[in-house]
Amino acid sequence: MMHVRSFQLSDYRPVTHLLETVLSEDCYEQTMEAFARQLSWDSELVLVASIDNEIIGMIIGTIDNNKGYYYRVAVHPDYQRQGIGKKLIQSLRGRFEQRNVAKIMITADEHNEPILSLYESLGYAATDFFRSFQKLSIVAG
């Protein structure tokens, strides 16, 4: 049974390992910086998916200027195409809605391009993709 919940400190190693497995080296370094920043600001917007206490997916979100942003989704290769990414996105959307953000956006960088269709399948449109994501505090620091 898959379970989605907020990130906890004990998840740090398995999540780091997951990101190393899934992301390219460039993307990993960028993501780890953003991940650390988001954890120090608001770890409620970092969610993990687990099966039998093993972490198989995660999503990093951030709120900037009263907009919610999906920053990075990662699902272990063995568990891809099973709806886990969708479940993570939907769970994070719930958090954004609880915070009453004005709009929800998807950061679109070269690393996210391959999964933009996943967001589209959930009803997001091209106008929801945010391409100047370098300006986000989570990235710019």
Q: In what order do the strands lie in the sheet with 129-130?
A: 2-6, 46-51, 54-64, 67-75, 103-107, 129-130
- With a pLDDT cut of 70, the percent of the chain lying above it is 99
What would the two tokens of residue 23 be?
A: 């992301």
| DSSP-H helix ranges across the chain | 12-22, 25-42, 84-98, 116-121, 137-140
Give yes or no for a contact between 75 and 59, defined as CB atoms under 8 angstroms apart: no
What would the two tokens of residue 109 be?
A: 């960088």
| Average of per-residue pLDDT across 9-15 | 96
Structural domains in the chain plus CATH codes: 2-135 (3.40.630.30)
pLDDT tens column, 76-104: 999 999 999 999 999 999 999 999 999 99
pLDDT confidence tier of residue 126, bands split at 50, 70 and 90:
confident
> Does the pLDDT of residue 141 top 90, yes or no?
no
- Rounded-to-integer distance, Cα 58 and Cα 23, Å: 12
Residue pointed to by tokens 């954890």? 39
pLDDT tens column, 37-85: 999 999 999 999 999 989 999 999 999 999 999 999 999 999 999 999 9
HSE, CB side, 13 Å, CA atoms: give it for residue 58.
27
